[in-house]
Amino acid sequence: MRLLAIIGASGHGKVIADIARKIGYSEIVFFDDDESIRECGGYPVIGKCTETGQIDADVIVGIGNSGVRKRIQESIPDGKLVTLIHPDAVIAEDTMIGEGTVVMAGAVINPGARIGRGCIINTCSSVDHDCKVGNYVHIAVGSHLCGTVSVGNGTWIGAGATIINNVSICPDCMIGAGAVVIKNIVEQGTYIGCPVSKMQG
């Protein structure tokens, strides 16, 4: 299998490298703009993010911040981006998953789900039937989308959050850890609590 270049030498990048190794990548390198970082998870950091295009490799962006992830991913030439799925994730056969998305161990994606580009479907999270997850969304550790949920581009669903059936969340929201969403969210912002309410200020 080809060389894999991971942009972003971080904890998230380490998890991506572990997935890559498990699915057969024999050589993994990192790129990061912090010149003081020499290795990540035992793999070398060989250059800055802008230098990724100088090597012949598959590429994935290992950065948690959705805005930064989007900016970097959209600068990568077509054909170089890959999608990585942990072998212990459960993915329905008809699921569609966009380029640059990573699906972590224990995640479940059920029939009819559509996952956008550059998403993070994190450890032990679930996306149930017929959900639509936009681009650059992060479904954090242990969070759950019930059936027919729609999540707008760039939204972060916090660790342990639950989104009930048939709910829509607009783009660029942050749903707090452990939050419960029981109705549509139509205004950008940060939402916390059970059920959620928008943080003010």
Does 10 belong to an annotated binding site? yes
Q: Of 47, 16, 29, 201, whose CA–CA distance to 123 is shortest?
A: 16
Q: Is 130 annotated as a binding residue?
A: no
Burial of 183 (0-12, 13-18, 19+ CB in 10 A): exposed
Evaluate whether 187 touches 169 at the Cβ level (below 8 Å).
no
Is residue 75 part of an annotated ligand binding site?
no
171 upstream amide cis, omega within 30 of 0:
no
Q: What are phi and psi of 53, to 5 degrees?
A: -65, -10
DSSP per position, 115-137:
E-TT-EE-TT-EE-TT-EE-TT-
Check whether 86 is labelled as a binding-site residue.
no
Tokens in use for 92? Answer: 């329905």
Given the residues 41, 105, 129, 160, the one annotated as active site? 129
Confirm or deny that 138 is annotated as ligand binding: yes
Residue 144 appears among annotated catalytic residues: no
Asked whether residue 12 is marked as a ligand-binding residue, the answer is: yes
Residue 158, marked binder: no
Q: How far apart are CA 124 and CA 175, in angstroms?
A: 17
Radius of gyration (Cα) for the chain, nearest Å?
A: 17
Which residues are annotated as part of the binding site? 10-12, 32-33, 64, 138
Which residues are annotated as part of the binding site for acetyl-CoA? 138
Active site residues: 129
Which residues are annotated as part of the binding site for substrate? 10-12, 32-33, 64
